[in-house]
């Protein structure tokens, strides 16, 4: 069934917080451009008129007889011709030796034509000789096209084939010769580019990085006082928070060229290509005087060297070594600043992060409430919004969402509005879109039995009741037993305010809420189903971190053993445990103790408010989806009818 809590306080998926290109003047890739009023020159090669000439020759060869107009002579049969010859009614005869065509003129001066045999018989020749007519045998000579076209056409096709093969080989050779060139896209300042005004929210980040803009605008001011601006700035943050957009805004504010490349562009199947592309990238930047080099997803090429399984790759290490060398090769006075973005700073090589290279890290976190409000203002531009939409309410109901998540939310709401036949995005459409993103798509084709539906209702009622009764748990926003995603039911909770730290009492109440569905099933039906699997996974992981990492166990004490080693880096694959077997047993017992204690708290709470549990479950069976306010109202009704159930 559903997780105990569907609050998304640590969402990190998404894209940029602002759609690139929102300004009318998006930076464009530079290159050679034709002068105004001139047409761009075509690539040198086979001329266009030559292709038409070849096609014309082929057509003339295939349809040569059709090029001549049909003669308007009187055509007669060969027998009639012989009869007229015998009757001495023919004065002139012209015989074509190649085609057997015979043209003759009768005594009245009328010209006739007939088709005779290619070679006249002896009797026919004697008949023509005895007729007294003037007989002429002619062998016409073929024209130029008829003589040479059958020979020139195959030769021309062969020459054309070899020319095409030569051009293809030259293109492949050119590609091989340019494989070591950088694939960075160059954006100039010919048009107004992205600025800080295009980045909604993140005032602290923009303030911290504005120093780079000031340096690029006025390098001499920093040089006179002897100040050294960082060569490299590393933007660190979850995906979708707008790191790339912020880097482009720096270039747009400073008015300098912007070289953009991803870490994977350096990798190729050939050895040494990555290092060659790094050299070409920095050479291009030096020729521009002042420029910004931006490497997106730098962790793909800047991963720790020799880190073990999955971390060692000779070609990647050579590329990283070249980057380290190039960053040491230019001085801060040259006006070149390198900006990189990553969401995995923990796997970067330490040499890359030392002072003198990427010596400043700017954290781009998930947007806060006010930032989300500004980001929503950006993404609703160009969309028809209803009068009942309050973006402040939407911002409060989307904690943990990145800028890309908010863009997706608005787009989903627009799709819902179109599907429902509305001409504007209403508040209910935004609510439906948020439910789809947070809880998943409805699985309307899934049919549950009455017994499964009742157990699901009590399961979700247990979660909702615990969340509503415990003071430290986030308030319930919505409860549903409509299957969504992979869950048969969902209880969604939204915090009233954003918390950046979790105290022990908050975590313990969260464990009680996680146990609510499992305990409710056992309390009502006397059975335990596998629907609480995800709840138990969440609770066990939380209790483990309380004991192992956060020092929330009096028995274990203030000690921390992190369990976040990344296997693909080889960290901890062959490493021994930091603690003894006895300590491991103590940790396991403490985790078990915390889970058992919170399960007992949950059981006592649901037993005490059993009537409220029944009311909430009955409401879910009747309505399938109820709000958090409805859950509170049902709890109040149960408390009023049974004073013993009040706290």
Q: Which residue has the higher pLDDT, 57 or 612?
A: 612
List every span in the chain annotated with CATH 3.40.50.300: 188-363
- Average pLDDT (367-392) is 86
Q: Is 26 helix (H, G, I), strand (E, B) or coil?
A: coil
pLDDT band of residue 100 (cuts 50, 70, 90) is confident
Closest CA relative to residue 347, chosen from 295, 315, 318, 308:
308
pLDDT tens digits, one per residue of 148-169: 767 777 887 888 888 777 776 6
Does residue 15 carry a pLDDT above 60? no
pLDDT band of residue 191 (cuts 50, 70, 90) is very low
Write out the two tokens for 106. Answer: 């009768």
Write out the two tokens for 414. Answer: 């627009």
pLDDT at 464: 92
Does residue 487 carry a pLDDT above 70? yes
pLDDT at 46: 55
**Distances from the Cα of 160 to the Cαs of 46, 50, 70, in angstroms?**
9, 11, 35
Write out the two tokens for 211. Answer: 């120093």
Does residue 592 carry a pLDDT above 80? yes
pLDDT at 511: 93
pLDDT at 432: 85
Q: Is 3 helix (H, G, I), strand (E, B) or coil?
A: coil
Report the percent of the chain where pLDDT is more than 70.
Answer: 76
The CATH fold assigned to 450-645 is Methane Monooxygenase Hydroxylase; Chain G, domain 1 (1.20.58)
65-142 classified as CATH 1.20.1260.10: no
Of 28-42, 131-145, 230-244, 605-619, the least confident = 28-42
Category of 330 on φ-ψ map: left (φ > 0), alpha (ψ -120 to 50) or beta: beta
- Average pLDDT (116-131) is 81
- Average pLDDT (135-142) is 77
- Cα separation, 177 vs 260, in Å, equals 22
Q: Where are the alpha helices (DSSP H) in 189-242?
A: 203-217, 219-225
Mean pLDDT of the chain: 76
Handedness of CA 418, 419, 424, 429 (dihedral sign): negative
Does residue 233 carry a pLDDT above 80? yes
pLDDT tens digits, one per residue of 291-320: 788 888 888 787 777 655 544 457 777 778
> Which CB contacts under 8 angstroms, 24+ apart, belong to 49-58?
54/156, 54/160, 57/149, 57/152, 57/153, 57/156, 58/153
Q: Which residue has the higher pLDDT, 268 or 323?
A: 323
Q: Where are the alpha helices (DSSP H) in 132-202?
A: 144-177
Does residue 41 carry a pLDDT above 50? no
Burial class (CB in 10 A: 0-12, 13-18, 19+), 306: exposed
> How many other C-beta atoms can be found within 10 angstroms of the C-beta atom of residue 526?
7
Write out the two tokens for 118. Answer: 């290619």
Q: What secondary structure does DSSP assign to 90-131, as a single string? A: EEEEEEETTT-EEEEEETTS-EEEEE--SS--HHHHHHHHHH
> Which of 215-219, 284-288, 454-458 ranks highest by mean pLDDT?
454-458
- Average pLDDT (447-468) is 89
pLDDT band of residue 3 (cuts 50, 70, 90) is very low
- Cβ–Cβ under 8 Å, residues 553 and 636: no
pLDDT at 12: 35
Residue 486 is given by DSSP the state T
- Cα separation, 99 vs 96, in Å, equals 6
- Cα separation, 526 vs 521, in Å, equals 7
Does residue 78 carry a pLDDT above 70? yes
- Average pLDDT (258-281) is 72
Contacts of 335 (CB under 8 A, 6+ apart): 216, 219, 256, 289, 290, 291
pLDDT band of residue 32 (cuts 50, 70, 90) is very low
Does residue 122 carry a pLDDT above 50? yes
pLDDT at 363: 87
- Average pLDDT (508-531) is 90
The CATH fold assigned to 369-439 is Helicase, Ruva Protein; domain 3 (1.10.8)
What is the pTM for the complete model shown?
0.61
List every span in the chain annotated with CATH 1.20.58.760: 450-645
List every span in the chain annotated with CATH 3.30.720.210: 65-142
pLDDT band of residue 616 (cuts 50, 70, 90) is very high
Q: 3-state DSSP helix/strand/coil percent for the chain, to nearest 5?
A: 50, 10, 40
188-363 classified as CATH 3.40.50.2300: no
Does residue 603 carry a pLDDT above 70? yes
Q: Which residues are catalytic?
A: 460
Report the percent of the chain where pLDDT is more than 90.
Answer: 14
Contacts of 568 (CB under 8 A, 6+ apart): 309, 310, 311
List every span in the chain annotated with CATH 1.10.8.60: 369-439
Does residue 534 carry a pLDDT above 60? yes
Write out the two tokens for 594. Answer: 């915390």
Does residue 177 carry a pLDDT above 70? no
pLDDT at 57: 66
Instruction: State the DSSP H helix or E strand holding residue 474, giving kind and residue range, or none if neither.
Output: none
Q: Which residue has the higher pLDDT, 119 or 468?
A: 468
Contacts of 107 (CB under 8 A, 6+ apart): 89, 90, 91
pLDDT at 51: 67
pLDDT at 145: 61
**Distances from the Cα of 125 to the Cαs of 83, 122, 425, in angstroms?**
14, 5, 99
């Amino acid at each position: 069934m559903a997780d105990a809590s569907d609050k998304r306080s640590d969402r990190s998926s998404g894209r940029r917080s602002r759609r690139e290109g929102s300004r009318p003047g998006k930076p464009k890739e530079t290159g050679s451009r034709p002068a105004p009023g001139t047409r761009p020159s075509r690539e040198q090669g086979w001329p266009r008129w030559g292709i038409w000439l070849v096609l014309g020759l082929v057509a003339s060869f295939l349809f040569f007889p059709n090029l001549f107009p049909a003669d308007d002579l009187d055509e007669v049969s060969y027998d009639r011709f012989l009869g007229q010859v015998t009757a001495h009614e023919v004065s002139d005869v012209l015989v074509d030796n190649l085609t057997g065509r015979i043209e003759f003129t009768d005594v009245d001066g009328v010209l006739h034509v007939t088709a005779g045999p290619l070679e006249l018989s002896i009797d026919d020749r004697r008949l023509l000789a005895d007729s007294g007519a003037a007989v002429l045998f002619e062998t016409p000579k073929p024209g130029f096209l008829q003589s040479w076209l059958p020979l020139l056409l195959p030769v021309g096709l062969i020459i054309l084939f070899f020319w095409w093969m030569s051009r293809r080989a030259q293109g492949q050779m050119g590609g091989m010769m340019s494989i070591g060139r950088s694939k960075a896209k160059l954006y100039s300042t010919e048009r107004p580019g992205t600025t800080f005004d295009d980045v909604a929210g993140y005032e602290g980040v923009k303030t911290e990085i504005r120093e780079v803009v000031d340096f690029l605008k006025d390098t001499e001011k920093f040089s006179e006082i002897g100040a050294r601006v960082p060569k490299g700035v590393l933007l660190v943050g979850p995906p979708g928070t707008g790191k790339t957009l912020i880097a482009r805004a720096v270039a747009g504010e400073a008015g300098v060229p912007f070289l953009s490349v991803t870490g994977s562009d350096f990798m190729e199947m050939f050895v040494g290509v990555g290092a060659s592309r790094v050299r070409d990238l920095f050479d291009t930047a030096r020729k521009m005087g002042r420029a910004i080099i931006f490497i997106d997803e730098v962790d793909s090429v800047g991963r720790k060297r020799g880190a073990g399984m999955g971390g060692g790759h000779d070609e990647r290490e050579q590329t990283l070594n070249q980057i380290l060398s190039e960053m040491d090769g230019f001085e801060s006075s040259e006006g070149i600043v390198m900006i990189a973005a990553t969401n995995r700073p923990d796997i970067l090589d330490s040499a890359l992060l030392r002072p003198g290279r990427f010596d400043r890290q700017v954290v781009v976190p998930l947007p806060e409430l006010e930032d989300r409000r500004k980001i929503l203002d950006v993404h609703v531009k160009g969309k028809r919004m209803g009068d009942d939409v309050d973006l402040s309410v939407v911002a409060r109901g989307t904690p943990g969402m990145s800028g890309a998540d908010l863009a997706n939310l608005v787009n989903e709401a627009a799709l819902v509005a179109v599907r429902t036949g509305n001409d504007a995005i209403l508040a209910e459409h935004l609510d439906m879109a948020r439910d789809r993103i947070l809880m998943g798509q409805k699985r309307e084709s899934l049919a549950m039995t009455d017994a499964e539906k009742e157990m699901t209702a009590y399961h979700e009622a247990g979660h909702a009741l615990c969340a509503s009764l415990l003071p430290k748990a986030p308030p319930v926003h919505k409860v549903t037993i409509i299957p969504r995603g992979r869950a048969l039911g969902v209880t969604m909770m939204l915090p009233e305010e954003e918390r950046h730290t979790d105290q022990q009492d908050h975590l313990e109440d969260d464990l009680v809420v996680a146990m609510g569905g499992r305990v409710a099933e056992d309390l009502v039906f006397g059975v335990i189903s596998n629907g609480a699997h995800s709840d138990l996974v969440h609770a066990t992981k939380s209790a483990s971190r309380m004991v192992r990492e956060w020092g929330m166990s009096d028995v274990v004490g203030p000690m921390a053993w992190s369990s976040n080693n990344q296997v693909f880096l080889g960290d901890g694959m062959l490493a021994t445990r930091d603690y003894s077997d006895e300590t491991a047993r103590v940790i396991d017992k403490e985790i078990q103790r915390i889970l058992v204690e919170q399960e007992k708290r949950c059981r006592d709470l649901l037993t005490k408010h059993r009537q409220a549990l029944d009311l909430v479950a009955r409401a879910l069976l009747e309505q399938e989806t109820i709000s958090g306010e409805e859950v509170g109202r049902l709890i109040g009704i149960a408390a009023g009818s049974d004073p013993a159930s009040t706290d």
